[in-house]
Amino acid sequence: MDSIIVSGISKSYGKVKALQDVSFVVEKGEVFGLIGPDGAGKTSMFRILCTLLLPEAGTATVEGFDVVKQMTDIRKRVGYMPGRFSLYQDLTVEENLKFFATLFGTTVDEGYDSIKAIYSQIERFKDRNAGALSGGMKQKLALSCALVHQPSVLFLDEPTTGVDPVSRKEFWDMLSMLKEREITIVAATPYLDEVRRCERVAFLSEGKMMGIGKPEVILERFKDIFVPTPFPSRGERSLNTLHTDDASMSNQSPLPSGGEGGGFAIEVSHLVKAYGDFHAVDDISFTVKKGEIFGFLGANGAGKTTAMHMLAGLNQPTSGTGKVCGFDIRTEHEQIKKHIGYMSQKFSLYEDMTVAENIRLFAGIYGMSNQEIARKTDEVLERLKFTSHKNDLVGSLPLGWKQKLAFSVSIFHEPGVVFLDEPTGGVDPATRRQFWELIYEAASHGITVFVTTHYMDEAEYCDRISIMVDGKISAMGTPEELKQQYGQKDMDGVFTYLARQAKRSEK
């Protein structure tokens, strides 16, 4: 039996053709993947199938009901998790669940059995605001809200973006449990391990259907997009000036004395950040060499973003010491801000300004002269192949373009260190690889790259990695050293092994 039938659907936004004559069928109880790069049309398709957007041409039915003529019938039968969740951050866990139950004319008690296996994992935090939850907990709450009215079809638009690998695996295990109840699941995801957990996938690109079939068939057919050529090893790259020594490898490494730290871009000793009795960062020490690509990994809630904020001068430590570019993180945070670059997952670009205007604004903030800004702007635009788009509004750019522009802006003033907080979340593999080419280029010019990521293939690209668990650094070394130490074939195995050693509960 077919649960979803899409026939010749088209949708445009002005001159942009988001969907062009798209057709596919999803069987009842199937786990079906909708994959493709940013801007491919996936979200538009989800919104049409959920009756939140009208198509311009073609037809579509969900559970036998027409998406245009029978909206009410469809809305009773579908659950929808948009990419950034649909939670109300200032409502509690329980209030969010009650709100969504009310929207669908039901109650939590009436739908409890359908969400018990998932909701019971977070129910003890029912009085906590959703905004204070970790990524994994938000994920479980959002899924519970989408299921509370007992839908027969579940639409998931990149539900695991920004969530650590262990939480992602747990989420897909929950989806497998839902499949046993014959719930039809349509999911979009940029993660290849999740693509492989689908029974079939449809690949969209620039609004067109490029192929439908089993994951392994589609991934092989379009491997240039989904499985780009791996990076060369560290030894094969031109960056061969770094030498890992015992001091830089140790979690409790002594700090060198004098000047800018004798070749260290970052020096941290016994750093602590406490909120009452809870130590988000719990006595960490490490050093990072100049020009090094340093991966700072950890599950959601492990403390890595808190640590990064202290190093970037955005938050003050409770105790301990640290230097970034030779400046004290406790007393010279304003100097630190002038000598670093920072890029978060949400970027910092102004969407209603042009590409050139964004570059000029941020360069001016860093005190660069107009002549220098003009010269370097042309260089950056040429390197990014953005010259013909310099007057385009940033809001009109694809996600991958915004990502590369945001990184280029963050290092425009040639900082000593650039902090990248999950900069590639939700981006397709080919675009992520292009982004890492920019990282390699920056490192080759002596910029130290301090990066957090939930993509374990990206962890393999780093010179060294630390992995935080429960606010502490549990492991540190090169990717090869860590894989050998923990007897794992890849960094995903290392991360999963260590993350599952976590003992502290959510606070």
Burial status of residue 274 (CB atoms within 10 A of its CB: 0-12, 13-18, 19 or more)? middle
Helix (H, G, I), strand (E, B) or coil at 281: strand
Residue 101 scores a pLDDT above 80:
yes
Question: Which amino acid, one-letter code, is at 89?
Answer: Q
What residues contact residue 425 under an 8 Å CB cut-off, 6+ apart?
161, 162, 345, 454
Instruction: Look at residue 505 in the predicted model and tell me its pLDDT.
Output: 53
Per-residue pLDDT tens for 298-318? Answer: 987 888 989 999 999 889 999
Question: Which amino acid, one-letter code, is at 385?
Answer: K
* Alpha carbon distance, N-terminus to C-terminus of the chain: 46
State percent of the chain over pLDDT 70. 91
pTM for this prediction: 0.80
Instruction: Look at residue 399 in the predicted model and tell me its pLDDT.
Output: 77
Instruction: Look at residue 240 in the predicted model and tell me its pLDDT.
Output: 43
Helix (H, G, I), strand (E, B) or coil at 2: strand
Per-residue pLDDT tens for 46-87? Answer: 999 999 999 999 999 999 999 999 999 999 999 999 876 678
Instruction: Look at residue 267 in the predicted model and tell me its pLDDT.
Output: 96
Instruction: Look at residue 319 in the predicted model and tell me its pLDDT.
Output: 96
Q: Grade residue 246 by pLDDT with cuts at 50, 70 and 90.
A: very low
The region of weakest confidence among 23-27, 166-170, 357-361 is: 166-170
d(CA 119, CA 138): 11
Residue 478 to residues 250, 402, 424, 465, Cα–Cα distance (Å) = 12, 30, 21, 6
d(CA 83, CA 38): 12
> What average pLDDT is seen over the chain?
88
Per-residue pLDDT tens for 379-403? Answer: 999 988 899 999 999 988 877 788 8
Distinct helix (H) and strand (E) counts, the chain: 19, 20
Residue recorded with tokens 């990206």: 458
- C-alpha 315: how far from chain center: 22
Rounded to an integer, the average pLDDT of 153-159 is: 93
